[in-house]
Structures are given as structure tokens and as C-alpha cells.
Amino acid sequence: MELFGVGLPELVVILIVALLVFGPRKLPELAQNLGRTVRSLKSASQDFEQELRREFDTTPTYAEPKARSKRLEGKPPEPS
């Protein structure tokens, strides 16, 4: 099992060190705050992606002109 390039043994060591540093009472609160932070970052990135897609979808595209000049087609211009 790989999580960000960290295997299971490394993950266990990190959790044990965190438990020793923060204690068993503070660790669940820290994990909950970390989960909220990750969730809010994910939501913000999705909102940003949707905004970019909306902007690119509404960007006007410039088409070739449909009517060409009569002078370019070899026809004489009409008198006005």
C-alpha cells in the first residue's frame, strides 16, 4: 500500500511518533481538523476548476467571415 510514496511501515512509525508527541486525547482532534482542511481544499479546487471551465466555455470563438467581397470573387462592384 503506497500513500504519497509512503509505505505501511513508514505510516505506522509516523502515527506512533504523532501519538507520543500530541498524546491520545489530542490526536483525534488533530485528525478531524486535518480532514476538514483536506475537504475544504478539495472543494476549493473543484470550484476553481468549474470556474475555469465556465470561462473557457463562454469564450467567444472567431469564425471566418461568411460573405466575401465581390471584388475578390471577380464580380464587378454594384453601383450604389
Instruction: Read off the pLDDT of residues 18-47 as tens digits, 9 standing for 90 and up.
Output: 889 988 889 889 889 989 999 999 999 999
Quick check: is 43 in a domain? yes
- Structural domain boundaries, residue 26: 7-59
Quick check: is 25 in a domain? yes
Quick check: is 35 in a domain? yes
Quick check: is 76 in a domain? no
Instruction: Evaluate if residue 67 carries a pLDDT over 60.
Output: no
Instruction: Evaluate if residue 71 carries a pLDDT over 70.
Output: no
Give pLDDT, residue 55: 84
Give the whole-angstrom CA distance, residue 6 versus residue 12: 10
Give pLDDT, residue 33: 92
Contact 54, 45 (CB under 8 A): no
- Domain count of the chain? 1
Give pLDDT, residue 6: 76
Give the whole-angstrom CA distance, residue 73 versus residue 67: 11
Give the whole-angstrom CA distance, residue 68 versus residue 9: 71
pTM over 0.75: no
